[in-house]
Structure formats: C-alpha cells, structure tokens
Structure 1
Amino acid sequence: MTQTLEALSRRTESMEGIGSVVHTMKSLSVINAAPFDNAARAIEAYHGTVLEGLHGYLSQSGPVSASRTGNAEQVVVVFGSDHGLCGNYNEVLAAHVAGHLSETKGAARILCVGAQMQAALIDEGLEVPTALLPPASADGIGRLANLLTQQLDALRQAGAQRELAVTLAFFARHEGSGQAPNIKRLLPLDPALISELRSKPWASRSLPFIAMRRADLFTTLIRGHLFSSLFRASAEALVTENAARLAMMQQAEQSVDDQLDELKSQMRNVRQSEITTELLDVIIGFEALKKARKPRSEAESD
C-alpha cells in the first residue's frame, strides 16, 4: 500500500530517533567495558602474588593433598546479567550450566548473580532461591567478590565436616572465537596446580620464612585465591556482557540504516510521483483552457 509523504516523513523521523538511541547504547557498551577490562587485568597481579605465597608455603611444608569431592557440597556460582539488550547471553550460559550439572549427576547449590540469569536458570528447571545484584561499576566488583566469599565461608561453616566443591560459570573471552561459556573448578585446588607449585624451584637464595601458624597461613592464601578468582570471573562476565550488547547494537544499527535507506527511497518515489501528478494536472488544465478559448475565438471571428 502506497503511503503518503507525511507518513513516510514521520516514520523516517522515528527511525532516526531509534538510530540515535542505538548509537548511544553502542557507545556506552564500549565505554562501560573498558573499566571492567582494566579490573580483570589488575586482579591478575594480585592473584599472581597469592600464587607466589602459596608457592612459598608449599616449598616449606609437607605435601598438601587435594580434598575429595565425593562427600563435598557442590556449589556453582553463576555470573549473569541484570539488564537486557544483550541477546541470548543468559539463556546460553544457563543451558550450559544445566548441561554441566546433568553430566555430574549431583545436587548443587547455585549462587546466582543477575536477576535475568536467575530467570534463565529457573527456566532450565534449576532451583535458584535468590540472586545477587551485579556490580554497576568497576568499584563494585570487589564488594561482590567479598560478599560471595563470605557466603561461601558461611556455607562451609554450616556444613560442619563437609568441604565445599566450588565451580564458577561465566562467559569468557576466547581469541578468534569471541566469547563462550566457561565452567571453572575453583575448590578443591587443582592437583595439577599444587604439583606445579611444589616442583617449581624457588627463585631466590633467601628461603621463605613462615612466622604464623601454617594452618592459618594456608587458610588466608586459599581465601585470597578464592577472592581473586571470583573477582576475575565477575569482571570477565561484565566485559563479555558489554561485548554481547555491543554486537546486538551493531546489528540493530545496521538494521536501522537499511530501513532508513528503504524509507528514503520510498520518499523519493512518492515525491517524484506527486511532482509528476502535479505536472500532469497543470498540463491537463492548460489543454482544457486552450480548448475552452478556441470555440470562443471562432465565434467572435464569425
């Protein structure tokens, strides 16, 4: 159905307004991702210090055996989004977590970050009583990591003799393939990591000296490892969320540009049609006037 020029003009103005919003959201996604990326890089230095402390502890202590996960309480910390406009970000990760739990065939307590992730996990048939709010800025990542550390510590104390088997689920960046769901076991410590740190030679001629109780030092190092890993996962999730939102905004921007081109083409066609119609009306009117004047001139000549 052919539309009027006024209707097409209104549609074009509306589409240009949508394009402006999309461009703003695209810019915000790029701007917001930068502080989270910097936070993810910064925590690596702290985590390296924690691992170096664990290296020093293992070099001066006896063998540390990894805890068995058979009788441990399974806890999965899932980092999702609390905002929209990021495609199926939450749904893909929720399906990945559900698949992982079905493979392990064990009951697990889920700590969820993000209301939309909570809804996606419930849709997968998982029980998620509450959801934590994701950080609104890079400053909030540390507070979230501290809160999760405290909740895990409370679960461990409530479990009496049972240890915790903690797994992190989040989107991580991959070179050449964008981003993909990542399942990372956090506790108990990976036996390969313990073996690597024990076999690694101490770089300095000065051997490390342990001045506090070894059990307290080991607990402090594990808490540092737990905090830095939670911090890193949260920052990585926020970076990938903004990357997913940026990709969606780029698709939306391309769609808006295509529709604007189509609307402008329709406007040109309608405008040309109206001009042609007006010219035809002028020509028809002029011909009608010529025919009306001709008989009158012939009558006067008679």
Structure 2
Amino acid sequence: MTQTLEALSRRTETLTSIRGIVHTMKTMSAINAVPYERAAESVAAYHQTVLNGLRAFMAKTGPIAMPVAAQAERILVVFGSDHGLCGNYNEALASHARAATEATDNTRVLCVGARMKDALTDQGLTPDTSFLPPASADGIGRLAGDIVTRLDEVGGGDLHNRVAVTLAFTRRAGRGQREPVMAPLLPLAPSLLSAPGHTGWQSRSLPDYTMSATPLFAALLRNHIFATVFQASAEALVTENAARLALMQQAEQAVEDRLEEVGGQFRLVRQDEITSELMDIIIGFEALKKKPSV
C-alpha cells in the first residue's frame, strides 16, 4: 500500500512538472505571435502605400497592358516551419501543395524550412531551393528579400514575363482554425494595372512624379512583390504560433484532467490506508480488553 502511495506521489510530481512546461510553452507561443502580428499589420499598411503609388502612376499614365508569356515557368513557394509542437502544420500544407501541382507540369518548388522540405519530399515534390525560416520578426525582411532575389534569378531579371509564381502558406481561419492558401503572385492581376485608370484618382490633387516612368514603375512592382511575399511569411508565422498555442492549450487541459484523476486515486488509496490503520488499532484494542487479568 505504501509503495502505491509513493508511486502516485511520484506520478503527481511528474504531471505537475509537465503542466509547468506546457504552460511555459503556451505563454511563449502567445508572446512570440505578437511581433509577427505587428509585422503583418505594418507590411499591410506599407503594401497599401505601394498600391496607392501604382494607382497614382496609372492615373497619370493610363492603364498598362503587360505582355503575356506563352511559356512562363511555374514556381510554387511554400512557407513551412522548422519549429516543433505545432501538429501537422507542414504535412497538411505539403499535401495541399501536392494537390495544387497535379494539374500542372514542371512546377519548380521553393520552400521555407528543412521540415517543409522533408514533408514535400514525402509528397513526391523535390524543392529546388530551401530557405531558412526567420528566427524572429526582424528576419522576415531577410527571408522576403532572399525569395524575391531567387525569383528574379529564375526569371532572368524579367519576373513579370517569364515566371508564374504562386505562394502557398497557412493562414488563420474562423473559430481558431487554420486553412491552406494558394495565392497567385505573378503574372500580375489585370485589375492591378487597369483598374486605377478606370476609377481615376480619388483626390482633389492630381498625382505627379519627377523620376523616369520606367524605373518608377519597376520599383513599384518590385515593392509590391516584396510586400506580398513579406505578408505571406508573416501570416504563416502568426498561424504557426497560433497552432502551437492551441495544441498547448489542449495538452494543458489533458494534463489537468490526468492530475485530477491521479489525485482521486491518491485520495482513495490514502483513505483505504487510514481505514486499515484504524481497523488495526480497533482490533488491537479489543484484543487487549479480552485479555484475562492475572
């Protein structure tokens, strides 16, 4: 009986330690998500500024018809995670990426994270290039710059005419869920270049610029591409931490339930031991009462 109580005590101590670790991981996931959320909000505001610049450019020059490449190389950029404790984050997105590439041939795959590379390989996709995921929000700009540079290399300096790029990442959905997203990046959507010319410039001041139109347009498009890649990466990191937070909450609840169960077993065993000790005392007392006097 004593050994059983000791075993239950050790189990309770172990579960209490695990609960502390899980609580710490949950807190870290919640804290880590904040800088990525702020980065996503900041780049969204920056992206809107770039789009306003494009709209101003179109309002002065008129819509631009980009040439369509007949044999554009298809590129899929998949944003994964190298951190654990986030469930099937990589596997689910890799499966979705595989389904998206079945309808097309000769798709070149670029991925973020060694674990995503393994997940894609398991799906029969061999990534052409693997990028290191950012360790903090400050590294998102580095990652976005590396991806844009690699795309520019593949496109031979003519991204808009030689490649068709799709971004695959996971974003937050309703009720704490997440969903895979396949977001087209290139070629540019016709509305991006034509709509501003049709809607006009919504201001009492007319837009103007002093630098040459060609380099200005190229800079606006490059910043649009950079901001889109940056935003996809930031959203993927926010979702990763949200997935880890949800799993840690489930794990914490499971540990709490187990602790309650072990605590109930401990109380029952302890009560049985106390009852047994009381019975021994009573039996001994009765034996002494019946003992004949000398």
- 3-state secondary structure, aligned to 2:156: helix
Post-superposition offset of 1:199: 1.3
Q: Which amino acid aligns with 1:23?
A: H
Post-superposition offset of 1:136: 1.4
State the partner residue of 1:82: 82
State the partner residue of 1:215: 214
Task: Provide the rounded CA distance (Å) in 1 between the counterparts of 2:123 and 2:12.
Answer: 41
Q: How many aligned residue pairs are there?
A: 294
The Cα offsets for residues 127-169 of structure 1, whole Å up to 9 and x where unpaired, read as 1244212111111111111111111111111889961111111
Q: Which amino acid aligns with 2:238?
A: V
Task: Provide the rounded CA distance (Å) in 2 between the counterparts of 1:211 and 1:135.
Answer: 37
Task: Provide the rounded CA distance (Å) in 1 between the counterparts of 2:199 and 2:2.
Answer: 77
* Superposition TM-score, scaled by structure 1 size: 0.90
Q: 1:58 to 1:3 in 2, by over 3 A?
A: farther
Q: 1:262 to 1:2 in 2, by over 3 A?
A: farther
2:40 touches 2:231 (CA, 8 Å); kept in 1?
yes
Deviates more, 1:112-121 or 1:244-253: 112-121
1:145 touches 1:230 (CA, 8 Å); kept in 2?
yes
Structure 2 matches for 1:1-302, cutoff 5 A? 4-68=4-68, 70-103=70-103, 105-157=104-156, 163-176=162-175, 178-291=177-290, 293-294=291-292, 297=293, 300=294
Gaps of 5+ in 1: none
Identical counterparts, % of pairs = 54
Task: Provide the rounded CA distance (Å) in 2 between the counterparts of 1:107 and 1:194.
Answer: 28
The Cα offsets for residues 154-210 of structure 1, whole Å up to 9 and x where unpaired, read as 111188996111111111123456321111001111113323222121123443334
Task: Provide the rounded CA distance (Å) in 1 between the counterparts of 2:239 and 2:69.
Answer: 30
The Cα offsets for residues 215-234 of structure 1, whole Å up to 9 and x where unpaired, read as 22221111100110011011
Task: Provide the rounded CA distance (Å) in 2 between the counterparts of 1:189 and 1:160.
Answer: 10
Gaps of 5+ in 2: none
Task: Provide the rounded CA distance (Å) in 2 between the counterparts of 1:264 and 1:120.
Answer: 41
1:71 touches 1:162 (CA, 8 Å); kept in 2?
no
2:23 touches 2:248 (CA, 8 Å); kept in 1?
yes
Q: Which amino acid aligns with 1:49?
A: T
Post-superposition offset of 1:255: 0.2
* Superposition TM-score, scaled by structure 2 size: 0.93
Task: Provide the rounded CA distance (Å) in 1 between the counterparts of 2:111 and 2:184.
Answer: 16
The Cα offsets for residues 23-68 of structure 1, whole Å up to 9 and x where unpaired, read as 0111111111111101101111111111111112222335422443
Task: Provide the rounded CA distance (Å) in 2 between the counterparts of 1:216 and 1:252.
Answer: 54
List 4+ stretches of structure 1 deviating above 6 A. Answer: 158-162
Q: 1:165 to 1:64 in 2, by over 3 A?
A: same
Q: 1:67 to 1:239 in 2, by over 3 A?
A: farther
Task: Provide the rounded CA distance (Å) in 1 between the counterparts of 2:218 and 2:135.
Answer: 30
Q: Which amino acid aligns with 2:196?
A: L
Task: Provide the rounded CA distance (Å) in 2 between the counterparts of 1:177 and 1:257.
Answer: 21
Q: 1:159 to 1:48 in 2, by over 3 A?
A: closer
